[in-house]
Amino acid sequence: MRITNSTLTTNYLRNLNRNLASMQKLQNQLSSGKVVSRASEDPLLVSKIMDLRNTISINEQYNTNIRDSIGWVDTQDGALQGATTTLQRIRELVIYGANDTLSNDDRNAIAQEVNVKVGELADVLNTNFDGRYIFSGTKTTEKPFDPSLVYKGNDKNINREISTGVVIELAVNGEEFTTIYKGQPNEQKLSELLQDIITALEKGETESLSGDLLGDLDKHIDNLLGFRTKIGAISNRLEAAKERNESENLNLKNLLSEREDIDLAQKYTEANILNSVYLASLSIGARILQPSLLDYLR
């Protein structure tokens, strides 16, 4: 095949443009820090990157759900601790009030303190987290207990999705830890027991105070502690889920970086090599391109 000056020139310019295109691509990668900047450059890689970003976004939402739930159950545990302390104080008052040597005035004073403690108990159990009441069931915008400790919420719990297909149930039914069952179908509300205690103190019913009322109060305290244990188990599960989520998200971000981000040192080396090749091409091109007819006519 006959090689003409036109052929040499065309091939040279084609190769020179290819070299310039490679340099431009490297410059774009170095300036953006990304392997690709347009989907047309590598559709399959871009699709994988988009899938990874979507998975990371979903995982971060799960992490938000987990952290919010942890804050919720931590608030619950703090409130239940306060409630336990208050009930223990009421128990001490019941034992003291059952003393036969006390006067009616003494027992009335004790009854007044118990009444104050009931109000304190209602306040602590009406604790809210981020504007939502933590023991109202799903009625999170309404206070669960009135000043007499009568429950106003519902018996439904709240579900939170913490991973794909994994849902955890937050225990938010305040009636669960303020009600004991004394043989089916009999049940006793904490509000009713506390009112009976106040009445017994005012009437000087010492035998009842040291007997059934104290025994029922102990059952309510045990019930509250049992519910607190349940909250602790939920907290442990959430902490474990948080660790898994953060570990998975870290792995996904590392994988995304491997696919999306350039190796800066490698790309600088490639850029220097291409620049050298380009300069060499210009030097050689000056020798390849023959003088034109106009050069001979000067």
pLDDT tens track for 219-260: 999 999 999 999 999 999 999 999 999 999 888 887 876 766
Q: Which pLDDT does position 297 carry in this prediction?
A: 47
CATH no. for 54-256: 1.20.1330.10
> Average pLDDT in the 189-195 region?
96
Is 70 exceeded by the pLDDT of residue 15? no
Q: What is the DSSP string of 5-57?
A: HHHHHHHHHHHHHHHHHHHHHHHHHHHH-BS-SSGGG-HHHHHHHHHHHHHHH
* Model pTM score: 0.75
Q: What is the DSSP string of the chain?
A: -PPPHHHHHHHHHHHHHHHHHHHHHHHHHHHH-BS-SSGGG-HHHHHHHHHHHHHHHHHHHHHHHHHHHHHHHHHHHHHHHHHHHHHHHHHHHHHHHT-TT--HHHHHHHHHHHHHHHHHHHHHHT-EETTEETTBTT-TTS-SB-TT--B-S-S--EEEEEETTEEEEE--BGGGGSEEESSTT-EEEHHHHHHHHHHHHHHT-HHHIIIIIHHHHHHHHHHHHHHHHHHHHHHHHHHHHHHHHHHHHHHHHHHHHHHHB--HHHHHHHHHHHHHHHHHHHHHHHHHSPPPHHHHH-
**pLDDT by residue (tens digit) across 77-133?**
999 999 999 999 999 999 999 998 899 999 999 999 999 999 999 999 999 999 999
pLDDT band at 9 (very low <50, low <70, confident <90, very high): low
C-alpha span between 57 and 28 (Å, rounded): 26
Going from N- to C-terminal start, the domains of the chain cover 1-31+265-298, 54-256
Tokens, residue 236: 């442990």
